[in-house]
Amino acid sequence: MSDQEPIDRDLYQRTLALLEPGEIDLAGAIVHTDLDSDAEADLHQTTIELGELIAEYEGIDPKDTYVYSGNDDPDFGLNQHQGLTLDGDEFVWECQQLLREDTFRIVFYYEADVDQDGLIDAMREAGYTVEGVEEP
């Protein structure tokens, strides 16, 4: 994180806690949108656009990925999605779409070996309000 104060400290801390060591090292991004619960199609498009940026920064052609939404999967929550590769269903990213203060925040997780600063800058250049989240 930069030296700036997080926009939503609680959400930032919860996101940071989910990066704790597991099978792979993760980094994350919190995308603050102005989309409300009536903007489901725009929320979906935003998720796809940002997932494609993450894939690019992971060195994967976005055309070689798809979005898995686990609405029928008991191990998956509503508004939880994964970007997976077409060849082998390998993990590219995961996100949760969270409604907070009447607008959505999209919290992405992806492998920590990504160029985090470049990715966050690319998301901002695409017009999004984004906070990068990394293990200190």
Confidence of residue 1 (pLDDT cuts 50, 70, 90): very low
| CB-count exposure of residue 111 (10 Å: 0-12, 13-18, 19+) | middle
CATH level 3 topology of 9-18+25-133: Double Stranded RNA Binding Domain (3.30.160)
| Rounded-to-integer distance, Cα 56 and Cα 119, Å | 9
Amino acid at 135: E
The pLDDT tens digits for 87-130 are 988 999 999 999 888 999 999 999 999 999 999 999 999 999 99
State the pTM of this model.
Answer: 0.87
Domain map of the chain by residue range? 9-18+25-133
| Rounded-to-integer distance, Cα 71 and Cα 58, Å | 26
